[in-house]
Chain A
Amino acid sequence: MLVETTLDAREMAPPEPFDKATAILRQMQPGHYLRMLHRRVPYPLFEFCRALSLTYSVNEEATTACEVIIYFPADEQALRQGGVL
Protein backbone atom coordinates (compact mmCIF):
# COMPACT_ATOMS: atom_id res chain seq x y z
CA MET A 1 0.00 0.00 0.00
CA LEU A 2 1.56 3.31 -1.11
CA VAL A 3 1.34 6.28 1.22
CA GLU A 4 0.87 9.73 -0.27
CA THR A 5 1.97 13.02 1.27
CA THR A 6 0.54 16.09 -0.42
CA LEU A 7 2.19 19.49 -0.45
CA ASP A 8 0.22 22.33 -2.01
CA ALA A 9 2.85 25.02 -2.59
CA ARG A 10 0.80 27.13 -5.00
CA GLU A 11 0.30 29.89 -2.46
CA MET A 12 3.73 29.75 -0.84
CA ALA A 13 6.52 32.28 -1.42
CA PRO A 14 10.11 31.07 -1.95
CA PRO A 15 11.93 29.44 -0.29
CA GLU A 16 8.98 27.88 1.60
CA PRO A 17 8.06 25.30 -1.09
CA PHE A 18 11.67 24.11 -1.29
CA ASP A 19 12.09 24.05 2.50
CA LYS A 20 8.86 22.13 3.09
CA ALA A 21 9.46 19.70 0.22
CA THR A 22 13.02 18.90 1.31
CA ALA A 23 11.87 18.41 4.92
CA ILE A 24 9.30 15.85 3.73
CA LEU A 25 11.70 14.14 1.31
CA ARG A 26 14.40 13.70 3.95
CA GLN A 27 11.95 11.72 6.11
CA MET A 28 10.42 9.74 3.26
CA GLN A 29 10.60 5.91 3.36
CA PRO A 30 10.19 3.42 0.50
CA GLY A 31 6.46 2.95 -0.16
CA HIS A 32 5.85 6.66 0.39
CA TYR A 33 5.66 9.32 -2.28
CA LEU A 34 5.19 13.10 -2.41
CA ARG A 35 2.56 14.78 -4.56
CA MET A 36 3.53 18.44 -4.84
CA LEU A 37 1.39 21.13 -6.43
CA HIS A 38 3.42 24.13 -7.57
CA ARG A 39 2.87 27.18 -9.76
CA ARG A 40 5.96 26.39 -11.83
CA VAL A 41 8.32 23.49 -12.46
CA PRO A 42 10.57 23.45 -9.36
CA TYR A 43 13.81 22.64 -11.22
CA PRO A 44 16.13 23.30 -8.24
CA LEU A 45 14.28 20.63 -6.25
CA PHE A 46 15.20 17.93 -8.77
CA GLU A 47 18.88 18.12 -7.88
CA PHE A 48 17.93 17.49 -4.28
CA CYS A 49 15.88 14.49 -5.39
CA ARG A 50 18.87 13.04 -7.22
CA ALA A 51 21.01 13.45 -4.10
CA LEU A 52 18.44 11.37 -2.21
CA SER A 53 18.22 8.80 -5.05
CA LEU A 54 14.59 9.71 -5.60
CA THR A 55 12.98 10.04 -8.97
CA TYR A 56 10.23 12.40 -10.10
CA SER A 57 7.56 12.97 -12.68
CA VAL A 58 6.27 16.42 -13.66
CA ASN A 59 2.81 16.95 -15.06
CA GLU A 60 2.53 20.46 -16.47
CA GLU A 61 -0.90 20.12 -18.04
CA ALA A 62 -2.42 23.20 -16.48
CA THR A 63 -1.09 26.59 -17.50
CA THR A 64 -1.05 28.00 -13.99
CA ALA A 65 0.12 25.02 -12.00
CA CYS A 66 2.08 21.80 -12.26
CA GLU A 67 2.01 18.56 -10.34
CA VAL A 68 5.20 16.84 -9.29
CA ILE A 69 5.29 13.26 -8.03
CA ILE A 70 8.49 12.34 -6.18
CA TYR A 71 9.05 8.70 -5.32
CA PHE A 72 11.52 5.84 -4.84
CA PRO A 73 12.45 4.16 -8.16
CA ALA A 74 11.44 0.77 -6.71
CA ASP A 75 7.85 2.04 -6.30
CA GLU A 76 7.42 3.10 -9.93
CA GLN A 77 5.57 -0.08 -10.97
CA ALA A 78 3.14 0.18 -8.08
CA LEU A 79 2.54 3.87 -8.75
CA ARG A 80 1.74 3.08 -12.38
CA GLN A 81 -0.64 0.33 -11.39
CA GLY A 82 -2.30 2.68 -8.92
CA GLY A 83 -2.76 5.32 -11.65
CA VAL A 84 -0.59 7.84 -9.82
CA LEU A 85 1.92 8.07 -12.71
Chain B
Amino acid sequence: MRMKGLTLDTIPPIHLPFRFFNTAPWMGMLAALVLLSGAERAFSTQWSPELLGITHLLTLGFMTMVMLGAMFQLVPVISGRMIPGGTIVATLVHLLLLAGVLLLVAGFYWQAYWLFAWALPVLLVAFITFLGALGSLLLRRIGGGDSIYCIRFSALSLLITVVLGAARSANFAGFPEPLGLANITNIHLAWGLLGWVLLLVMGVSYQVIPMFHVTPSYPTALARTLPAVVFLSLLLLTLIDNTVVQALVVVALCTAAIVYASYTIGLLNKRKRKIPDITARFWRLSLICLMASTLLLAGFYFAGHLFLSAELQQRAPIIIGILMIYGFAGSVIMGMLQKIVPFLSYLHLQRRCMTNFELLKTLPHMGEIISEPRSRWQFRLHLSALLLLLTATMTGIFAPAAALLMAADFAWLGFTLASATRLYRTTAARVAAS
Protein backbone atom coordinates (compact mmCIF):
# COMPACT_ATOMS: atom_id res chain seq x y z
CA MET B 1 0.00 0.00 0.00
CA ARG B 2 1.39 3.37 -0.93
CA MET B 3 0.07 6.43 0.88
CA LYS B 4 1.01 9.93 0.02
CA GLY B 5 0.42 13.28 1.63
CA LEU B 6 -1.87 12.15 4.43
CA THR B 7 -3.49 15.22 5.91
CA LEU B 8 -4.57 13.80 9.20
CA ASP B 9 -4.51 15.39 12.57
CA THR B 10 -3.76 12.05 14.09
CA ILE B 11 -2.87 12.93 17.64
CA PRO B 12 -5.78 13.83 19.93
CA PRO B 13 -5.17 16.38 22.72
CA ILE B 14 -3.23 14.90 25.62
CA HIS B 15 -5.84 15.93 28.19
CA LEU B 16 -8.19 13.28 26.75
CA PRO B 17 -6.21 10.19 27.79
CA PHE B 18 -4.72 11.94 30.82
CA ARG B 19 -8.05 12.63 32.47
CA PHE B 20 -8.87 8.89 32.30
CA PHE B 21 -5.38 7.91 33.49
CA ASN B 22 -5.45 10.35 36.40
CA THR B 23 -8.87 9.17 37.58
CA ALA B 24 -8.24 5.42 37.42
CA PRO B 25 -5.73 4.98 40.30
CA TRP B 26 -8.13 6.61 42.76
CA MET B 27 -10.81 4.08 41.81
CA GLY B 28 -8.27 1.39 42.68
CA MET B 29 -7.56 3.23 45.93
CA LEU B 30 -11.29 3.21 46.71
CA ALA B 31 -11.33 -0.55 46.05
CA ALA B 32 -8.55 -0.93 48.61
CA LEU B 33 -10.53 1.10 51.16
CA VAL B 34 -13.62 -1.05 50.55
CA LEU B 35 -11.45 -4.12 51.19
CA LEU B 36 -10.08 -2.55 54.37
CA SER B 37 -13.59 -1.74 55.62
CA GLY B 38 -14.84 -5.30 55.13
CA ALA B 39 -11.60 -7.24 55.39
CA GLU B 40 -13.07 -10.09 57.43
CA ARG B 41 -15.96 -10.77 55.03
CA ALA B 42 -14.62 -9.76 51.62
CA PHE B 43 -12.99 -13.07 50.67
CA SER B 44 -15.55 -15.37 52.31
CA THR B 45 -17.46 -15.81 49.03
CA GLN B 46 -17.25 -14.36 45.54
CA TRP B 47 -20.72 -12.90 46.05
CA SER B 48 -19.94 -10.79 49.15
CA PRO B 49 -21.10 -7.16 48.70
CA GLU B 50 -17.58 -5.92 49.41
CA LEU B 51 -16.02 -8.19 46.79
CA LEU B 52 -18.62 -7.27 44.17
CA GLY B 53 -17.90 -3.59 44.89
CA ILE B 54 -14.12 -4.13 44.76
CA THR B 55 -14.41 -6.15 41.53
CA HIS B 56 -16.36 -3.41 39.76
CA LEU B 57 -14.11 -0.65 41.10
CA LEU B 58 -11.14 -2.52 39.65
CA THR B 59 -12.69 -3.70 36.38
CA LEU B 60 -14.72 -0.61 35.50
CA GLY B 61 -13.15 2.12 37.65
CA PHE B 62 -9.50 1.22 37.12
CA MET B 63 -9.10 -1.13 34.15
CA THR B 64 -11.82 0.14 31.83
CA MET B 65 -11.09 3.74 32.76
CA VAL B 66 -7.47 3.38 31.63
CA MET B 67 -8.37 1.21 28.63
CA LEU B 68 -10.93 3.69 27.28
CA GLY B 69 -8.51 6.59 27.77
CA ALA B 70 -5.78 4.64 26.00
CA MET B 71 -8.11 3.81 23.10
CA PHE B 72 -8.76 7.52 22.48
CA GLN B 73 -5.01 7.91 21.99
CA LEU B 74 -3.89 4.56 20.64
CA VAL B 75 -6.47 3.93 17.92
CA PRO B 76 -5.61 7.19 16.08
CA VAL B 77 -1.88 6.53 16.36
CA ILE B 78 -2.06 2.98 14.97
CA SER B 79 -4.84 3.49 12.44
CA GLY B 80 -4.19 7.08 11.37
CA ARG B 81 -7.84 8.01 12.09
CA MET B 82 -9.29 9.91 15.06
CA ILE B 83 -12.18 8.41 17.04
CA PRO B 84 -15.14 10.59 15.94
CA GLY B 85 -16.50 13.05 18.47
CA GLY B 86 -13.11 13.91 19.97
CA THR B 87 -13.17 15.97 23.14
CA ILE B 88 -16.96 15.99 23.55
CA VAL B 89 -17.27 12.21 23.38
CA ALA B 90 -14.24 11.66 25.63
CA THR B 91 -15.51 14.15 28.24
CA LEU B 92 -18.97 12.61 28.25
CA VAL B 93 -17.66 9.04 28.47
CA HIS B 94 -15.21 9.92 31.26
CA LEU B 95 -17.79 11.69 33.45
CA LEU B 96 -20.54 9.15 32.89
CA LEU B 97 -18.24 6.19 33.50
CA LEU B 98 -17.02 7.77 36.73
CA ALA B 99 -20.55 8.55 37.97
CA GLY B 100 -21.87 5.16 36.85
CA VAL B 101 -19.12 3.18 38.58
CA LEU B 102 -19.59 5.06 41.86
CA LEU B 103 -23.37 4.52 41.78
CA LEU B 104 -22.98 0.83 40.90
CA VAL B 105 -20.42 0.21 43.63
CA ALA B 106 -22.52 2.09 46.19
CA GLY B 107 -25.42 -0.18 45.19
CA PHE B 108 -23.31 -3.31 45.74
CA TYR B 109 -21.59 -2.11 48.92
CA TRP B 110 -24.70 -0.98 50.78
CA GLN B 111 -26.87 -3.58 49.03
CA ALA B 112 -29.01 -0.65 47.92
CA TYR B 113 -29.93 -2.23 44.61
CA TRP B 114 -32.36 0.56 43.80
CA LEU B 115 -29.23 2.57 42.98
CA PHE B 116 -28.78 0.32 39.94
CA ALA B 117 -31.78 2.08 38.40
CA TRP B 118 -29.48 5.17 38.29
CA ALA B 119 -26.19 3.41 37.65
CA LEU B 120 -27.44 1.36 34.75
CA PRO B 121 -28.65 4.17 32.45
CA VAL B 122 -25.56 6.25 33.21
CA LEU B 123 -23.19 3.39 32.38
CA LEU B 124 -25.23 2.41 29.33
CA VAL B 125 -25.04 5.95 27.92
CA ALA B 126 -21.27 6.00 28.62
CA PHE B 127 -20.64 2.74 26.80
CA ILE B 128 -23.08 3.37 23.95
CA THR B 129 -21.44 6.76 23.36
CA PHE B 130 -17.96 5.24 23.38
CA LEU B 131 -18.81 2.17 21.32
CA GLY B 132 -20.87 4.21 18.88
CA ALA B 133 -17.94 6.53 18.21
CA LEU B 134 -15.33 3.76 18.13
CA GLY B 135 -17.60 1.41 16.15
CA SER B 136 -18.22 3.99 13.43
CA LEU B 137 -14.44 4.09 12.93
CA LEU B 138 -13.82 0.33 13.23
CA LEU B 139 -16.50 -0.44 10.64
CA ARG B 140 -14.47 1.50 8.07
CA ARG B 141 -11.45 0.21 6.21
CA ILE B 142 -8.62 1.67 8.27
CA GLY B 143 -4.95 0.92 8.88
CA GLY B 144 -3.59 -0.75 11.97
CA GLY B 145 -3.39 -4.36 10.74
CA ASP B 146 -3.56 -7.13 13.32
CA SER B 147 -4.07 -4.71 16.21
CA ILE B 148 -7.20 -3.16 14.76
CA TYR B 149 -8.44 -6.64 13.76
CA CYS B 150 -8.13 -7.69 17.42
CA ILE B 151 -9.56 -4.43 18.78
CA ARG B 152 -12.71 -5.03 16.68
CA PHE B 153 -13.30 -8.31 18.55
CA SER B 154 -12.51 -6.58 21.83
CA ALA B 155 -15.00 -3.76 21.20
CA LEU B 156 -17.70 -6.31 20.32
CA SER B 157 -16.89 -8.17 23.53
CA LEU B 158 -17.27 -4.96 25.52
CA LEU B 159 -20.70 -4.46 23.99
CA ILE B 160 -21.75 -8.00 24.94
CA THR B 161 -20.28 -7.59 28.45
CA VAL B 162 -22.29 -4.39 28.94
CA VAL B 163 -25.54 -5.98 27.71
CA LEU B 164 -25.04 -8.98 30.01
CA GLY B 165 -24.09 -6.74 32.92
CA ALA B 166 -27.19 -4.62 32.36
CA ALA B 167 -29.38 -7.73 32.30
CA ARG B 168 -27.76 -9.00 35.51
CA SER B 169 -28.12 -5.70 37.33
CA ALA B 170 -31.77 -5.46 36.25
CA ASN B 171 -32.16 -8.83 37.94
CA PHE B 172 -30.44 -7.47 41.09
CA ALA B 173 -32.84 -4.55 41.09
CA GLY B 174 -35.79 -6.96 41.20
CA PHE B 175 -36.72 -7.21 37.54
CA PRO B 176 -36.91 -10.60 35.78
CA GLU B 177 -33.69 -11.58 33.99
CA PRO B 178 -34.54 -10.53 30.42
CA LEU B 179 -32.12 -12.69 28.41
CA GLY B 180 -33.04 -16.06 29.90
CA LEU B 181 -29.39 -17.19 29.98
CA ALA B 182 -28.27 -19.81 32.46
CA ASN B 183 -25.28 -18.72 34.56
CA ILE B 184 -25.38 -15.14 33.25
CA THR B 185 -22.90 -13.86 35.87
CA ASN B 186 -20.12 -16.21 34.79
CA ILE B 187 -20.81 -15.48 31.11
CA HIS B 188 -20.68 -11.72 31.88
CA LEU B 189 -17.36 -12.27 33.67
CA ALA B 190 -15.98 -14.37 30.80
CA TRP B 191 -16.87 -11.76 28.17
CA GLY B 192 -15.47 -8.96 30.33
CA LEU B 193 -12.17 -10.55 31.30
CA LEU B 194 -11.39 -12.86 28.38
CA GLY B 195 -13.20 -10.88 25.68
CA TRP B 196 -12.89 -7.17 26.36
CA VAL B 197 -9.73 -7.20 28.50
CA LEU B 198 -7.67 -10.08 27.10
CA LEU B 199 -8.47 -9.23 23.47
CA LEU B 200 -7.64 -5.56 23.98
CA VAL B 201 -4.38 -6.45 25.72
CA MET B 202 -3.59 -8.78 22.80
CA GLY B 203 -4.39 -6.10 20.20
CA VAL B 204 -2.33 -3.48 22.02
CA SER B 205 0.57 -5.88 22.57
CA TYR B 206 0.82 -6.56 18.82
CA GLN B 207 1.85 -2.90 18.51
CA VAL B 208 3.59 -2.01 21.74
CA ILE B 209 5.70 -5.12 22.43
CA PRO B 210 7.65 -4.92 19.14
CA MET B 211 7.62 -1.11 19.22
CA PHE B 212 8.65 -0.28 22.80
CA HIS B 213 10.71 -3.38 23.50
CA VAL B 214 12.25 -3.83 20.05
CA THR B 215 11.33 -7.48 19.62
CA PRO B 216 10.34 -9.46 16.52
CA SER B 217 6.69 -8.97 15.50
CA TYR B 218 3.89 -11.44 16.18
CA PRO B 219 3.28 -13.67 13.14
CA THR B 220 0.04 -12.62 11.46
CA ALA B 221 -1.38 -16.16 11.48
CA LEU B 222 -1.06 -16.32 15.27
CA ALA B 223 -2.14 -12.72 15.80
CA ARG B 224 -5.37 -13.35 13.86
CA THR B 225 -6.13 -16.89 15.03
CA LEU B 226 -5.92 -16.23 18.77
CA PRO B 227 -8.60 -13.50 18.99
CA ALA B 228 -10.90 -15.43 16.65
CA VAL B 229 -10.59 -18.56 18.84
CA VAL B 230 -11.28 -16.56 22.01
CA PHE B 231 -14.26 -14.74 20.52
CA LEU B 232 -15.86 -17.84 18.96
CA SER B 233 -15.33 -19.81 22.18
CA LEU B 234 -17.11 -17.10 24.16
CA LEU B 235 -19.96 -17.10 21.64
CA LEU B 236 -20.34 -20.87 22.02
CA LEU B 237 -20.26 -20.55 25.79
CA THR B 238 -23.06 -18.00 25.63
CA LEU B 239 -25.31 -19.64 23.08
CA ILE B 240 -24.99 -23.39 23.77
CA ASP B 241 -25.85 -24.65 27.24
CA ASN B 242 -24.19 -28.05 27.01
CA THR B 243 -21.54 -29.54 29.31
CA VAL B 244 -19.44 -31.04 26.49
CA VAL B 245 -19.40 -27.73 24.59
CA GLN B 246 -18.61 -25.90 27.83
CA ALA B 247 -15.66 -28.23 28.51
CA LEU B 248 -14.32 -27.73 24.98
CA VAL B 249 -14.69 -23.96 25.35
CA VAL B 250 -12.74 -23.99 28.62
CA VAL B 251 -9.94 -25.96 26.89
CA ALA B 252 -9.94 -23.63 23.87
CA LEU B 253 -9.91 -20.42 25.98
CA CYS B 254 -7.18 -21.68 28.30
CA THR B 255 -5.07 -22.90 25.37
CA ALA B 256 -5.41 -19.57 23.53
CA ALA B 257 -4.46 -17.61 26.66
CA ILE B 258 -1.46 -19.85 27.42
CA VAL B 259 -0.22 -19.80 23.81
CA TYR B 260 -0.51 -16.00 23.74
CA ALA B 261 1.22 -15.57 27.11
CA SER B 262 4.07 -17.99 26.39
CA TYR B 263 4.63 -16.56 22.90
CA THR B 264 4.76 -13.01 24.28
CA ILE B 265 7.21 -14.01 27.02
CA GLY B 266 9.31 -15.60 24.26
CA LEU B 267 9.22 -12.32 22.32
CA LEU B 268 10.25 -10.35 25.42
CA ASN B 269 13.19 -12.74 25.85
CA LYS B 270 14.26 -11.81 22.31
CA ARG B 271 14.49 -8.10 23.10
CA LYS B 272 17.24 -6.60 20.99
CA ARG B 273 18.34 -4.37 23.85
CA LYS B 274 18.78 -6.26 27.07
CA ILE B 275 18.58 -3.19 29.28
CA PRO B 276 16.59 -3.38 32.55
CA ASP B 277 13.03 -2.34 31.79
CA ILE B 278 10.29 -2.15 34.41
CA THR B 279 7.51 -2.29 31.81
CA ALA B 280 8.91 -5.58 30.46
CA ARG B 281 8.99 -6.87 34.03
CA PHE B 282 5.32 -5.84 34.48
CA TRP B 283 4.49 -7.63 31.21
CA ARG B 284 6.15 -10.84 32.39
CA LEU B 285 4.34 -10.72 35.74
CA SER B 286 1.07 -10.07 33.94
CA LEU B 287 1.54 -12.97 31.51
CA ILE B 288 2.59 -15.38 34.26
CA CYS B 289 -0.61 -14.45 36.12
CA LEU B 290 -2.63 -15.01 32.94
CA MET B 291 -1.15 -18.48 32.55
CA ALA B 292 -1.59 -19.28 36.25
CA SER B 293 -5.21 -18.13 36.26
CA THR B 294 -6.15 -20.10 33.14
CA LEU B 295 -4.38 -23.25 34.38
CA LEU B 296 -6.17 -22.89 37.72
CA LEU B 297 -9.45 -22.33 35.91
CA ALA B 298 -9.01 -25.50 33.87
CA GLY B 299 -7.89 -27.44 36.94
CA PHE B 300 -10.81 -26.14 38.98
CA TYR B 301 -13.30 -26.82 36.19
CA PHE B 302 -12.23 -30.38 35.44
CA ALA B 303 -10.89 -31.66 38.74
CA GLY B 304 -11.74 -29.14 41.46
CA HIS B 305 -14.31 -31.40 43.10
CA LEU B 306 -11.74 -34.22 43.40
CA PHE B 307 -9.03 -32.36 45.27
CA LEU B 308 -10.34 -29.22 46.92
CA SER B 309 -12.11 -28.95 50.24
CA ALA B 310 -15.52 -27.24 50.20
CA GLU B 311 -13.96 -24.06 51.61
CA LEU B 312 -11.20 -23.98 49.00
CA GLN B 313 -13.75 -24.66 46.27
CA GLN B 314 -15.48 -21.48 47.38
CA ARG B 315 -12.21 -19.54 47.39
CA ALA B 316 -10.76 -20.88 44.12
CA PRO B 317 -12.86 -18.55 41.89
CA ILE B 318 -11.67 -15.58 43.99
CA ILE B 319 -8.03 -16.64 43.54
CA ILE B 320 -8.59 -16.98 39.79
CA GLY B 321 -10.25 -13.54 39.79
CA ILE B 322 -7.35 -11.92 41.68
CA LEU B 323 -4.81 -13.46 39.30
CA MET B 324 -6.81 -12.32 36.29
CA ILE B 325 -7.82 -8.82 37.46
CA TYR B 326 -5.01 -7.65 39.75
CA GLY B 327 -2.31 -9.97 38.42
CA PHE B 328 -2.89 -10.01 34.67
CA ALA B 329 -4.82 -6.84 33.76
CA GLY B 330 -3.63 -4.70 36.70
CA SER B 331 0.04 -5.48 36.04
CA VAL B 332 -0.05 -4.86 32.31
CA ILE B 333 -1.94 -1.57 32.79
CA MET B 334 0.47 -0.34 35.46
CA GLY B 335 3.44 -1.34 33.34
CA MET B 336 2.12 0.29 30.19
CA LEU B 337 1.32 3.53 32.03
CA GLN B 338 4.99 3.77 33.07
CA LYS B 339 5.86 3.81 29.37
CA ILE B 340 2.89 5.45 27.64
CA VAL B 341 2.54 8.52 29.87
CA PRO B 342 6.17 9.68 29.38
CA PHE B 343 5.97 8.83 25.68
CA LEU B 344 2.76 10.80 25.15
CA SER B 345 4.01 13.73 27.23
CA TYR B 346 7.21 13.87 25.21
CA LEU B 347 5.39 13.52 21.90
CA HIS B 348 2.91 16.29 22.71
CA LEU B 349 5.62 18.60 24.04
CA GLN B 350 7.55 18.13 20.81
CA ARG B 351 4.46 19.18 18.86
CA ARG B 352 4.38 22.38 20.88
CA CYS B 353 7.90 23.19 19.73
CA MET B 354 7.01 23.25 16.05
CA THR B 355 7.11 27.01 15.91
CA ASN B 356 10.46 27.13 17.69
CA PHE B 357 12.59 24.04 17.14
CA GLU B 358 15.34 25.31 19.47
CA LEU B 359 13.05 24.55 22.42
CA LEU B 360 13.21 20.82 21.62
CA LYS B 361 16.56 20.66 23.42
CA THR B 362 15.02 21.97 26.63
CA LEU B 363 12.30 19.32 26.91
CA PRO B 364 12.44 16.74 29.72
CA HIS B 365 13.34 13.26 28.46
CA MET B 366 11.04 10.31 28.94
CA GLY B 367 13.14 9.06 31.86
CA GLU B 368 12.63 12.38 33.66
CA ILE B 369 8.84 12.35 33.22
CA ILE B 370 8.52 9.08 35.18
CA SER B 371 11.85 8.14 36.70
CA GLU B 372 13.07 4.56 36.75
CA PRO B 373 13.38 4.33 40.57
CA ARG B 374 9.76 5.46 40.85
CA SER B 375 8.65 2.75 38.41
CA ARG B 376 10.76 0.18 40.23
CA TRP B 377 8.97 1.00 43.49
CA GLN B 378 5.65 0.69 41.67
CA PHE B 379 6.58 -2.83 40.64
CA ARG B 380 7.65 -3.80 44.15
CA LEU B 381 4.45 -2.43 45.68
CA HIS B 382 2.27 -4.09 43.06
CA LEU B 383 3.94 -7.50 43.38
CA SER B 384 3.78 -7.35 47.19
CA ALA B 385 0.09 -6.37 47.12
CA LEU B 386 -0.68 -9.17 44.67
CA LEU B 387 1.10 -11.82 46.74
CA LEU B 388 -0.55 -10.64 49.95
CA LEU B 389 -4.00 -10.57 48.31
CA LEU B 390 -3.51 -14.19 47.22
CA THR B 391 -2.27 -15.17 50.69
CA ALA B 392 -5.20 -13.41 52.33
CA THR B 393 -7.66 -15.26 50.10
CA MET B 394 -6.07 -18.65 50.75
CA THR B 395 -5.57 -18.29 54.48
CA GLY B 396 -8.42 -16.00 55.44
CA ILE B 397 -6.01 -13.70 57.31
CA PHE B 398 -3.81 -10.75 56.25
CA ALA B 399 -6.71 -9.10 54.37
CA PRO B 400 -6.22 -5.72 56.16
CA ALA B 401 -2.49 -5.77 55.34
CA ALA B 402 -3.29 -6.69 51.73
CA ALA B 403 -5.76 -3.79 51.55
CA LEU B 404 -3.12 -1.36 52.89
CA LEU B 405 -0.53 -2.54 50.34
CA MET B 406 -3.12 -2.31 47.58
CA ALA B 407 -3.90 1.26 48.69
CA ALA B 408 -0.18 2.08 48.62
CA ASP B 409 0.12 0.55 45.15
CA PHE B 410 -2.66 2.71 43.69
CA ALA B 411 -1.68 5.83 45.63
CA TRP B 412 1.87 5.51 44.29
CA LEU B 413 0.51 5.20 40.77
CA GLY B 414 -1.85 8.16 41.32
CA PHE B 415 0.96 10.42 42.56
CA THR B 416 3.30 9.27 39.78
CA LEU B 417 0.74 10.11 37.09
CA ALA B 418 -0.19 13.40 38.78
CA SER B 419 3.51 14.39 38.91
CA ALA B 420 3.97 13.49 35.24
CA THR B 421 0.89 15.52 34.32
CA ARG B 422 2.15 18.49 36.36
CA LEU B 423 5.54 18.32 34.66
CA TYR B 424 3.83 18.22 31.28
CA ARG B 425 1.70 21.26 32.13
CA THR B 426 4.56 23.36 33.49
CA THR B 427 6.77 22.50 30.51
CA ALA B 428 3.96 23.21 28.04
CA ALA B 429 3.35 26.58 29.73
CA ARG B 430 7.08 27.39 29.54
CA VAL B 431 7.18 26.46 25.84
CA ALA B 432 4.08 28.56 25.14
CA ALA B 433 5.63 31.55 26.92
CA SER B 434 8.92 31.32 24.99
> Residues on A close to B: CB < 8 A?
11-15, 18, 22, 26, 39-41, 43-44, 46-48, 50-51, 55-61, 63-64
**Complex Cα distance A10/B10, Å?**
21
Tell me if B217 is interfacial: C-beta within 8 Å of chain A: yes
Considering only residues 1-38 of chain B, those with a C-beta below 8 Å from chain A are 1-11
Closest-CB distance, A49 to chain B (whole angstroms): 10
> Residues on B close to A: CB < 8 A?
1-11, 76-78, 80, 143, 145, 207, 210-214, 217, 220, 272-273, 343, 346-347, 350-351, 354-355, 357, 360, 366
Given contacts A18-B350, A39-B211, A51-B354, contact A44 B11 (CB under 8 A): yes
**Complex Cα distance A64/B220, Å?**
10
Given contacts A15-B366, A39-B210, A59-B1, 5 further A-B contacts (CB under 8 A): A11-B272, A15-B347, A18-B347, A50-B7, A60-B1
Query: B11 and A47: CB pair below 8 A?
Result: yes
Contacts of A63 in B (CB 8 A): 145, 217, 220
Closest-CB distance, B386 to chain A (whole angstroms): 27
Contacts of B347 in A (CB 8 A): 15, 18, 44
Given contacts A15-B366, A43-B10, A46-B10, contact A60 B3 (CB under 8 A): yes
Given contacts A22-B350, A41-B143, A48-B354, contact A57 B214 (CB under 8 A): no
Query: A26 and B357: CB pair below 8 A?
Result: yes
**Complex Cα distance A46/B3, Å?**
12
Contacts of A55 in B (CB 8 A): 4-5
Query: B357 and A58: CB pair below 8 A?
Result: no
Contacts of A39 in B (CB 8 A): 210-211, 217
Contacts of A64 in B (CB 8 A): 217
Query: A46 and B6: CB pair below 8 A?
Result: yes
Query: B8 and A46: CB pair below 8 A?
Result: yes
Q: Which residue of B lies closest to A61 (CB)?
A: B1
Contacts of B8 in A (CB 8 A): 43, 46
Q: Which residue of B lies closest to A73 (CB)?
A: B5
**Complex Cα distance A57/B5, Å?**
6
**Complex Cα distance A54/B207, Å?**
27
**Complex Cα distance A11/B366, Å?**
18
Q: Which residue of A lies closest to B208 (CB)?
A: A14
B77, B350, B357: the one within 8 Å of A43 (CB): B77
Query: A14 and B210: CB pair below 8 A?
Result: no
Contacts of A48 in B (CB 8 A): 350-351, 354
Closest-CB distance, A79 to chain B (whole angstroms): 12
Closest-CB distance, B327 to chain A (whole angstroms): 26
B10, B77, B207, B214: the one within 8 Å of A12 (CB): B214
